Amino acid sequence: MTAVSAWAAAHLDAWDRQQAAYINRREDRFAIMLDVLAETVPADALVVDLACGPGSISTRVLDRFPRMTCVAVDYDPLLLELGRHALARHGGRLTFREADLWDPAWTEVLDGRRPHAVLSSTALHWLPADVLARVYRDAASVLRPGGVLMNADHLRQPAGRPLFEELGRRDDAATQARDHAAGALSWDAWFAELVAHPHFAPLAPERERRFAPRPPNPDLGLDFHVSALRAAQFAEAGPVWQHLDDYVVLAQR
């Protein structure tokens, strides 16, 4: 293992702790996703980790299922480079590919392969409604018949449900307070350490250029995601796991 890979692996561990501070029961999310995979796709399935960041889903899939392979797709050059170094132990079973989900041509990174599953976590909430709906259609177009899509994310409660909204806010605040007190970094502190590293620092300006013009988080709710998946011609769609306003949405092609 090179010095960069060793540092990246340690910083990926810090990523997991940082993310868990913002997502209570994050590992429970991943566990249900993997359990659904075990029941719905073949042992040698091809899995797309969509908007993958540094590959959190991919590494859990590959650790549990020794015959599966993953294509991890993202547009963030810093997180892709971190994942390539941190998860090099997976060898040819994990491929990181750069693609912008705002571009309908993003599916070309699959090189014509048809995945058995498309998984995403804590990422698609950044897409506006029209882009998200089209990404779901794109995913449906490349998935094999019977293939599954799962999206794990905070999906905010609709207006008019103040108790539900307040419970979600309190849970978020308590989770952050607990984990930060235990040493988890904030997003800003974690990112500052990444861009301070001499290997990763040169990628920071390009990341800023790519994401500066993007609109703010649109906060689309569960109903929108389910409706968009059904409109994308998935045969079934709905939540398969929930903790307050945190969901895993499952759809089958």
DSSP 34: H
Per domain, the residue ranges of the chain are 3-252
Contacts of 191 (CB under 8 A, 6+ apart): none
Q: Does domain 3-252 have CATH number 3.40.50.150?
A: yes
Which is nearest to 46 in space by CA: 65, 66, 71, 72? 71
Per-residue pLDDT of the chain (253 residues; tens, 9 = 90+): 799 999 999 999 999 999 999 999 999 999 999 999 999 999 999 999 999 999 999 999 999 999 999 999 999 999 999 999 999 999 999 999 999 999 999 999 999 999 999 999 999 999 999 999 999 999 999 999 999 999 999 997 777 889 999 999 999 999 999 999 999 999 999 999 999 999 999 999 999 999 998 888 888 999 999 999 999 999 999 999 999 999 999 999 9
Please state whether beta strands 46-50 and 148-154 pair in parallel, antiparallel, or not at all (unpaired). unpaired
Contacts of 235 (CB under 8 A, 6+ apart): 252, 253
Q: What is the pLDDT of residue 217?
A: 82
Token pair 């709906």 is found at 133
Q: What backbone torsions phi and psi does residue 252 show, to the nearest 5 degrees? A: -120, 135
Q: Which two tokens stand for residue 103?
A: 């571009």
Q: In the prediction, which pLDDT does 48 show?
A: 98
Q: Is 89 helix (H, G, I), strand (E, B) or coil?
A: helix
Q: Which residue has the tokens 């990404």?
A: 135
Three-class secondary structure of residue 48 per DSSP = strand
- Nearest CA among 21, 53, 74 for reference residue 184: 21
Sign of the CA dihedral 208, 211, 215, 217?
negative
Place of tokens 């089209």: 134
How many residues in the chain? 253
Q: Which residues contact residue 61 at a Cβ distance below 8 angstroms, ignoring those fewer than 6 apart?
A: 34, 37, 47, 49, 68, 70, 119
